[in-house]
Amino acid sequence: MNIAFFITSLRAGGAEKQLITDINLLKEDVNNLFIIYYYEGEFSNNIGTIKKIKLKSTNYISSIIEIRKIIRKYKINVLYSNLYRAMVISAIASIFVDIKVVWDFHFHLYDVSKVHYFLLYLLSKLKKVKKLIFVCHELKKYYENRNLVFPKSKLEVIYNSTELNYNPNEISNKKNKEIIIGYVGRIVKLKRVFFLLELVEYLLSENITNFKVQIIGEGEDRKFLEQYVTEHKLTNYVQFLGFQSNVEKFYSCFDLFILPSREECLPISLINAGVSGIPSIAFDVGGNNEIIINEITGFIVSNKEEMFKKAALLIQDSNLRKKMGKESVNYCCKVFDKENRRKKLLDLIINIQ
């Protein structure tokens, strides 16, 4: 069986990161794997030896023609499409060539016209669009609440998985002299990384000084945030570490993980924190509350003031951190295990009709 993954870019992002994980999970079980994309990015070198096919044009019509040629040339059986553009193009291409299409939903459609929703609804009815995968239950409900009546027989919920190699029995009690608060992700407005700088100021105002915030990632807001840190003399408490291809060593040092985003689906960074035995704090958006069990593995908060107070609590209460970390690793290793996702994806693809 020949399977092609189709995504817009190989830049750093949640959907892209899960795609790389999926390729690595399936490459031992599938004879021929391909990846089709438009733009290079931070993950370009993480794919391994599978065939990479870079599309020449970003135009929808030209892309459909290109995809059709690629399918015929490489005799691709399944086109596994991630994100809106790839999903639309793959579905339309299926009208003209023999292919089975799988859609993987990693996104909400905020602030778009009804045309976008209608197009997804219409294309989902196509015979060759075989499966619609949602990465969490919240995302599936989101589309149902917008009266998108997708064919029920095609719908699946398969959780994102951790990208880390872990052993729940080896999660050790961290003994850092200072509490390391971690963030991993893009540094863009919707992630609200600025809240972490405000958290630093809040903690210092409460005479809490035994901590450091480590921010891993890149994005358009980084320069502004770094300038703010310098101007407000927070450099002793905030580190910008840029994009890191191997995040495992950083999770092993974190004592607390905070994700301040105003929008999420099922963030892999939060899953990684969970399987690393780290209590987390995140807002009640997307599938965050499917990763964090509120007040057991961490805290789901509704505003930044609540985030500040819960962070202060966890910094000052080492027993609570350890208790939540233990609950977190037990839960997340069971629910978001890579092997679980591999088996479900492989079963879906092999048995696709």
Residue 170 is predicted with a pLDDT of: 62
Residue 172 is predicted with a pLDDT of: 55
Report the alpha-carbon distance of residue 105 to residue 344 in Å, rounded. 16
Among the ranges given (118-127, 143-152, 160-169, 198-207), the one the predictor scored with the smallest mean pLDDT: 160-169
Tens-place pLDDT, residues 60-81: 999 999 999 999 999 999 999 9
Report the alpha-carbon distance of residue 53 to residue 37 in Å, rounded. 7
Residue 28 is predicted with a pLDDT of: 86
Domains of the chain: 2-161+337-350 (3.40.50.2000), 168-335 (3.40.50.2000)
Residue 177 Cα distances to 172, 205, 209, 235, 316, angstroms: 15, 20, 11, 18, 12
Residue 294 is predicted with a pLDDT of: 98
The string of DSSP letters for 10-76 reads -SSSHHHHHHHHHHHHHTTT-SEEEEEESB--TTTTSS-SSEEEE-S---HHHHHHHHHHHHHHHT-
What token pair was written down for 236? Answer: 């002793």
H helix and E strand count, the chain: 13, 13
**What SS3 state is found at 133?**
strand
Does residue 333 have a pLDDT over 60? yes
What is the average pLDDT across 253-276?
Answer: 96
What is the average pLDDT across 12-32?
Answer: 90
For residue 235, name the pLDDT band (cuts at 50, 70, 90). very high
